[in-house]
Structure 1
Amino acid sequence: MSAGDRFNRQLRRYYSWYTGSFIAFVLLLAIGEFLGMSQAAIGHVFLFATIAIYAGIGVMSRTSDVTEYYVAGRRVPALFNGMATAADWMSAATFIGLAGMLYFSGFEGLAFVTGWTGGFVLVALLLAPYLRKFGQYTIPDFLGERYQGNFARVVGLFAAVLASFVYLVAQIYGVGLVTSRFVSVEFEIGLFIGLAGILVCSFMGGMRAVTWTQVAQYVILIIAYLVPVVILSYKVTGVPVPPAVYGSVLSQIGERESELLTDPAEIGVRHQYRQRAEEYAHKIEQLPVSLEAERAALIERLNALRLNNAPAREIALLERTLRDLPRTVEEARARWEKERQHALERARPPPRHAEAHPGNSPEASAVARNNFIALVFVLMVGTAALPHILMRYYTTPSVVEARNSAFWSLFFIMLLYITAPAYAVFAKWEVYSNLVGSSLTELPAWVASWGKVGLVKIEDLNGDGVLQLAELSIDTDVIMLATPEIAGLPYVVAGLVAAGGLAAALSTADGLLLTISNALSHDFYYKVINPKASTHRRLMISKSQLLVVAVVAAWVASLRPDHILFMVGMAFSIAAAAFFPALVLGIFWKRANRPGAIAGMLAGLGVTLYYLASTHAFFGGSMDNAWFGINPIAAGAFGVPLGFATIVAVSLCTRPPPREIQDLVDFVRYPQLPAGGDPR
C-alpha cells in the first residue's frame, strides 16, 4: 500500500469517527431538551462546540511550510478535496439564502441552482486539470506566467481581492445573522465571535488547516440542511424523501395561491399599498415643500399633545418620528423613493410559484426570461472563475485527482441543491396555510423572535386584526433559518440549522480570507515588491494581511450593506468578467497575449462595475439605466462577452506571445509527451 493510500484510509477513519460523534452529540442535545434543557443553553452549546471543533483542527494543522500553507502540501485526495470544495462553495448565500430565493421567486429562483451547478461542469472541463498541471499557488500566478509579467498579475490580483472581499463581507454578515438570533447577542458582537472562529481556522495553518476544517464543516452543514427538511417532508406528506414528494405539495400551493389572488381582503390591502406608493410619489414630486410641511405638521401635533397632557408614551413616539424625519431634500428623496418601491412591491400580487417568467405583458415576460438566462450565464462562468474555488484544485496530488475532485465537488453540492426547492415549497405551504389568515393576537412565536432582529415585519394596514399575505414581510434569509420553528420542530433542530449556517459561512470565509491574504503576500509582496523575501517573512506578511482584511470585512458587514444573495451575485459578476475570458483563452488559445489579456480583463471588469454602479440603488443607481432590463446582479453578462472580444481583437492586432509561452500552453494542455513529441 502506497503512502497516499495509507493517508487516504487514515482520513476516512478519522472523519467517519467524527461524523458518528457529531450525530451522537446532536442526539444527546435532543435528549437534554426533552429533559428540560433551555433553548439558550442549546444555542450556546451548538455555537461554541462547533467553533471549538474548527479551532482544534486549525491548531492541530498549523504549519510553517510554504507549500503546506498555500496548497496543503498538494496531497489532498479527490474525495476530501471534493468535500472541502463543496464546503468552500456552499456559502451562507447557498445555505441561508437559496431556499429563501426559491421561496420568493419560485421558478425564477432555479437560475441559481442551474447556474451554480453548471459552473462546476465548466470547472471540470475547462479549468481545474489545466490549472493543476500548471502547478503554482494562486490564479494571479497563472496570469503572471501565462501573460508574461507583473502587469497582468496585478490586474488579476485587484480583481481577485475585489471579488473575494465582496463575497467575504456576505459571509461575515451571515455569521452575525446566525449568532445574533441563536445566541441572543447583538449583531455586531456576533460578527466578531464568528470572526474569531474564522481566524483560528486559517491563521496558523493556511490552506492545510482550512482544508481539513472545511471537510469537518461540510459534514455539519449537510446534516444540518437535510435533517429539518426530511422531518418536514415526513410531517407534511408522510414520506421522508423531500425531492420525490414536494411536487404534490406544490400543486396544493397553486390552489392556495388562486384563493389568495381573489380574496377581497388581500385585494383591498394591495390597493391600500398602491395608494401609499402614490402618496410617496406625490411627496417626492413636491419636494422641498412637502418635507417642510410634514415637519411643521409633526411639530404642531407634538405641541398639541403637550398642551393636552397626553400620555408620555404617545409624546415620545411622536418625538421619535420627528427626530427620524429626513433632514435634507436628498435624504428625503432617497428614503421616500425606497418606501415607494416597498409599497409598490407589496401592492403587486405575488408570482405563482410554478410560473415560468411571469409578467403582466409579453414584454414583461420577455424581460423576465432574459434576466433568467443572463443570471444563469453569469453564475456559471462566475463559478468557473472564483479564485477561492480554483485554488482548491492546486491542492490535489495530480491532474487526474483534480479532475476527479471536480466530480466529487459536484456530487456533494448536488445533495443540497436537489433539496433546496423542497425547502421553499414546504416553508411556503406552512406560511400560506397556517400563518396567512391568522389573528394577529395568535401568531406563532417565531414571528416575534425573528421580528426582534428586523427580518420579519407585520403591518395591519387595514386594521382588521387578521394577517393578510401582503401585510407580511419576510427577509429572504429567514426562510431556511426559521423553517424548524415554522414547522414546530424541536429547538435542537433549529440549533442544528444554526450550526450548519455557521459552518457554511465560516468555511467560505476561511477560503476567501486565505485567497485575499495569499494574493497580497505572494502575488504582490513576494512576486512584485520583494522577490528575495524569506519563507518566514512571506508567511508573516500573509498572516498579518489576513488579520487586517478580516477586521475590515467585519466592519463593513456591521453596516449591513445589502442582503446576502445580492452581494454574492455581485462577486460572481466581478469574477466572471475579470477572469473567465483570460483563463479560458490563456489555456486554449496560444495566440492570446499580454496586451490582449490586460485590455480584456480591464474592459470586462470596467463595464461590469459601471453597470453595477449605474443600476443598483445601493450605489445611487437606478434600473432606469438598465440595458435590456437586465438586473444588476447579472452585470457580468455584459462584461464577459466584452472581455472575450477585447482579448481576441487586441491579441490579433499585436505581436504573438514568444515561443516559450506557447510551449507553456502546450505543456498545460496536453499529457506528458516523449522527448521531441508534437502535441499537435
Structure 2
Amino acid sequence: MDYLWTFIAFGVYLLVMLLIGFLSMKRTKSSEDYFLGGRSLNGWVAALSAQASDMSGWLLMGLPGAIYALGTGQIWIAVGLCIGTILNWALISSRLRRYTIRAGNSLTLPAFFENRFHDKSKLLRVASSLFIMVFFLVYTASAFSAGAKLFSSVFGLDYIWALAIGAAVILIYTFFGGFLAVCWTDFIQGFMMLIALMVVPFFAVSVMGGFGETKAVLDSLGTNFLNPFYDNGNPMSAVSIISQLAWGLGYFGMPHILVRFMAIKNENEVRKSRKVAITWVVISLSAACFLGIIGRSYFQDSLLANGQQENVFINMIQDIFNNHIHIPFIGGLLLCAILAAIMSTADSQLLVTASSISEDVYKGVINKKASDKSMLLISRITVLVVSAVAFMIALDPNSSVMGLVSNAWAGFGATFGPVVLMSLFWKRSNVTGAAFGMIAGGLTVILWDYIPLFGGATLAVQTGLYSLVPGFAINLVLMIIVSLLTKAPSREMLDEFDDVVRSKGMEISPKN
C-alpha cells in the first residue's frame, strides 16, 4: 500500500510537468522562443529556474551523501557555491543580459562570444559548442544516473529500467516545450526542493527524540565528524579546502545558468531575481548540509557498508513517512523533490546543448539561411541524440553523482568562466586571447581529470587539487597575455563595450 501512494504522488507530479510542456509548446513558435522564451521571464521564474537548474540531484543526493560519509569538512563546497552565486548575480547577470542584446541579440553563449569579439573565423562559436556538447554529456548523465537511483530505490526497479523511465520523462517535456517549459517546471521544482530540504530533517530529529539525542549520536562517532576542518576523520589540507571553495568559480561559465540572465525581460526583473536567487541558494545549501549531518545520526554507518550514502535523503523520507508518521502520499511528494532537482538540471542541459548545436553549428556555420521551422527540428533531434548518448554514459549503476557533476562543473568553469568575465569587464580583450584561453582551459580539465600521466594516476589524484583551479587560472592568464600581445580591439568593439557600461540599469537595443 505504501508503494501505491508513493506511485500516485509521482504520477501526479509527472503529469503536471508534462502538462506544462505541452502548454508551453503552443507558445513556442520560433528559435528565440525555444531557446530564450522570447526574453520574457519575470524575476521569480528566472531566479528559481536558474538556481533549480544549477543545483540538480547533487543538492539532495551528492552533497548530503558526501557529508553523511565524510563529515562536515565537505561543507566548504557549499560555502564556495554560496559565494559564487552571490558574485554571479551581482557581477554577471545584468551586464550579460545587456551585452547579449547589444551584441547582435545573441541567443546562446557561443553566439555571444562570436558577436562580442567580432570573430569572423567562427572559431569561438564552434569551439565553445563542442565543449558544451562534451561536458553536458557528462552532466546530463549525472542527472540520469541520479534519477535511476531514485526510481530504483523507491520502487525496487532494476537500474536500467529506472534509468529509462527517468530519462524518458525529462526528454518528453523538454522536447516539446523548450525554454518556457523548462523554466516554468524549474520554478515549481525550485519550491519543491526548498520545502523538502527544510521539512525532512526536522521530522528526522523528532523521530530520534530531539536535538539532544541527535547530537549525542554524532558525538559518539569519535571521528571529528562535526569539525569542518576534518575530512573522514583526518585533518583537511589547504589544497582540499581551496579545491572545495573553488567550486564557486564554476558559476561564471555555466551556460544553463547564464542563459537565464539573458532571458529576463527587463532590468527591474534582474534586480528582483538577484534577491530571490541569493536567498534561495543560501537557505537550500544550508539545509542540504544539515540534512547530511542529521542523516549520519539517523542511520549512523548503515548506508556506508553497501555504498548507499547518496541515498540518505531517499531512505530517510521512506523510513519516516512509511514507518513512523504513516503518511506515504506526503512522503511520495517529498521524494518528488529529488526528482524535481534532477529534472530541473537535466532539462536545462539538454536545451542548452540543443541550442548550441542548432543555432551555433547548424545555422551559424552549416546553413546560415536556416528557417525557424528547420531550427526547431534540428533542436529537437539534438535533444534526442544527446539524451541517448548521456543514457549510455549513465548505464553504470556504480557511477557517482558527485563525481560526474564535479567533472562537468570544472569543465564549464575552466572553459568559459574567465572568457565571460573578461568579455564583460575588460575592453582590451580580443578574439585571439579568448580562443587561446578557452581552448587551454577546457583541455586542462580533460587532461587533469581523465589522462593518467603518472603510473596510471591522473593529475587530480596525484595532487588532490580540483581541476577547475588550474583550468581557470591557465585560461585567465593566457587570455590576458595573448590579448596584450596581439592586435587591439577595433573601434566598433570598444564603442559597443562602452555602450553596455553606460547603459547600466537601463534597457539597451540590439545592433546587428
Q: Which amino acid aligns with 1:544?
A: I
Alpha-carbon distance in 2 for matches of 1:142, 1:649:
22
- 1:77-226 to 2 correspondences below 5 Å: 77-134=42-99, 135=101, 136-149=106-119, 150-226=122-198
* Alignment partner, residue 484 of structure 1: 317
Q: Which residue of 2 aligns with 1:622?
A: 457
Instruction: Please point out which of 494, 497, 500 is paired with 1:665.
Output: 497
Distance of 2:238 and 2:158 partners within structure 1: 41
Structure 1, unmatched stretches of 5+, are 1-37, 239-245, 259-349, 437-446, 448-455, 458-471, 675-680
| Distance across 1 between alignment mates of 2:268 and 2:41 | 12
Q: Residues 415-494 of structure 1: matches in 2 within 5 Å? A: 415-432=283-300, 456=303, 472-487=305-320, 488-489=323-324, 490=326, 491-494=328-331
Alignment partner, residue 325 of structure 1: none
What is residue 577 of structure 1 aligned with on the other side? Answer: 414
Please tell me the residue identity of whatever aligns with 1:138. Answer: T
Distance 1:493 1:424, change over 3 A: farther
Distance (whole Å) between structure 2 residues aligned to residue 209 and residue 550 of structure 1: 17
Match of 1:294 in 2: none
Answer whether contact 1:122 1:381 (CA < 8 A) is retained. no
Go from structure 1 to structure 2 and tell me whether the alpha carbon gap of 1:255 and 1:503 turns closer, same or farther (over 3 Å shift): closer
Equivalent residue for 1:383, pick from 251, 257, 261: 251
Question: How far apart are the structure 1 equivalents of 2:440 and 2:369?
Answer: 33
State whether residues 604 and 639 of structure 1, in contact with CA within 8 Å, keep that contact through their aligned partners in structure 2: yes
| 1:86 Cα deviation from its structure 2 partner | 2.2
Deviation (angstroms), 1:211: 1.1
CA contact (8 A) 1:59 1:200 kept: no
For 1:244-278, what per-residue CA distance to the aligned partner results, in whole angstroms no more than 9, with x for missing partners?
Answer: xx6x56752453023xxxxxxxxxxxxxxxxxxxx
Query: Per-residue deviation at 1:473?
Result: 4.1
Tell me which residue corresponds to 1:372. Answer: 241
2:19 to 23, 46, 56: 56
Residue in structure 1 matching 2:263, options 373, 392, 395: 395
1:647 matched to 2:487? The reply is: no
Aligned-pair identity in percent equals: 24
Aligned equivalents of 1:212, 1:516: Cα separation in 2:
19
Larger radius of gyration: 1
Distance in 1, Cα, partners of 2:23 & 2:296: 44
Once the two structures are superposed, residues 518-563 of structure 1 have per-residue CA deviations (whole angstroms, 9 ceiling, x without a partner) of 1000011111111111111111111111111112211221134620
Structure 2 counterpart of 1:398, which letter?
Answer: N
User: 1:81-100 CA deviation, whole Å, 9 max, x = no partner?
Assistant: 11222221220111222111
Q: Distance in 2 between matches of 1:98 and 1:200?
A: 28
* CA shift for structure 1 position 44: 1.7
Are the equivalent residues in 2 in contact too, given 1:249–1:426 (CA < 8 A)?
Answer: no
Cα shift at 1:161: 1.9
Alignment partner of 2:488: what SS?
A: coil
After superposition, residues 529-608 of structure 1 pair within 5 angstroms as 529-560=366-397, 562-608=399-445
Match of 2:447 among 610, 614, 630: 610
Q: Would the alpha carbon gap of residues 234 and 141 (structure 1) be closer, same or farther in structure 2, given more than 3 Å must change?
A: same
C-alpha displacement of 1:184: 2.8
Structure 2: state its 5+ residue gaps: 507-512
CA separation in 2, counterparts of 1:391 and 1:630? 32
Structure 2 counterpart of 1:232, one-letter code: A
Deviation at 1:237, TM superposition (A): 5.6
Per the TM alignment, residue 352 of structure 1 is displaced from its structure 2 partner at its CA by 2.9
Q: Compute the displacement of 1:581 (Å).
A: 0.9
Q: Report the secondary structure of 2:260's partner residue.
A: helix
Which digits, 9 at most, give the CA deviation of each residue in 1:628-668, with x for residues without a partner? Answer: 7324xx11110111111101111111111111111222223
Q: Who is 1:520 aligned against? A: 357
The structure-2 alpha-carbon separation of the partners of 1:354 and 1:502, relative to structure 1 and needing over 3 Å to count, comes to same
Q: Say yes or no: does 1:257 pair with 2:225.
A: no
Deviation at 1:176, TM superposition (A): 0.9
Conserved 8 A contact 1:371-1:629 = no
CA contact (8 A) 1:481 1:494 kept: no
Cα distance in 2 between the residues matched to 1:143 and 1:500: 35
Q: Distance in 2 between matches of 1:511 and 1:517?
A: 10
Partner amino acid for 2:265?
Answer: P
Q: Distance in 2 between matches of 1:532 and 1:372?
A: 50
Q: CA deviation at 1:224?
A: 2.9
Q: Is the 8 A contact 1:371 1:630 kept in 2?
A: yes
Matched AA of 2:112:
F
Match of 1:185, SS state, is coil
* TM-superposition CA deviations, 1:153-188 (whole Å, max 9, x none): 112112222222211110011111111222232211
How has the CA–CA distance of structure 1 residues 616 and 84 changed in structure 2, closer, same or farther, with 3 Å as cutoff?
A: farther
Letter in 2 for 1:52: L
Q: Deviations over 1:492-533 (max 9, x none)?
A: 454233211111111111100000001000011111111111
The residue number in structure 1 matching 2:38 is 73
Aligned to 1:278: none
Letter in 2 for 1:356: F
CA distance in 2, matches of 1:669, 1:517: 31
Contact 1:381–1:580 under 8 Å retained in 2: yes
Is contact 1:257-1:352 (8 Å) kept?
yes
Structure-2 change in CA distance of 1:627 and 1:95 (3 Å):
closer
Are residue 43 (structure 1) and residue 6 (structure 2) matched?
yes
CA apart distance, 1:429: 1.5
Q: Choose 192-201 or 541-550, whichever is displaced more.
A: 192-201
SS at 1:656 equivalent:
coil
Amino acid corresponding to residue 645 of structure 1 in structure 2: V
Whichever residue aligns with residue 157 of structure 2, its letter is V
Give the count of matched residue pairs: 493
How far did 1:627 drift? 8.1
- Does the 8 Å contact 1:164/1:388 carry over to 2? no
* Deviation of the 1:475 alpha carbon: 2.6
For residues 268 and 29 of structure 2, the distance between their equivalents in structure 1, rounded to whole angstroms, comes to 28
Q: What is the TM-score of this pair, normalised by structure 1?
A: 0.68
Tell me the amino acid that sits aligned with residue 146 of structure 1.
Answer: R
**What amino acid is aligned across from residue 369 of structure 1 in structure 2?**
A
CA distance in 2, matches of 1:218, 1:627: 35
Question: 1:543 and 1:485, CA in 2 relative to 1: closer, same or farther beyond 3 A?
Answer: closer
Contact 1:43 1:495 in 2 (8 A): yes
CA RMSD, Structure 1 to Structure 2 (Å):
2.5
Match of 1:507 in 2: 344
Deviation at 1:141, TM superposition (A): 1.4
Q: Label 1:424 to 1:627 Cα distance change in 2 as closer, same or farther (>3 A).
A: closer
C-alpha change, 1:616 and 1:197, in structure 2 (3 Å) is: farther
Q: Cα distance, 1:221 vs. partner?
A: 2.6
> 2: CA distance between counterparts of 1:254 and 1:40?
32
> TM-score, normalising length from structure 2?
0.90
**Given the superposition, is the C-alpha separation of residues 365 and 418 from structure 1 closer, same or farther in structure 2, using an over 3 Å criterion?**
closer
- In 2 relative to 1, CA 398–561 (structure 1 residues): closer, same or farther, beyond 3 Å? farther
- Correspondence 1:356 to 2:236: no
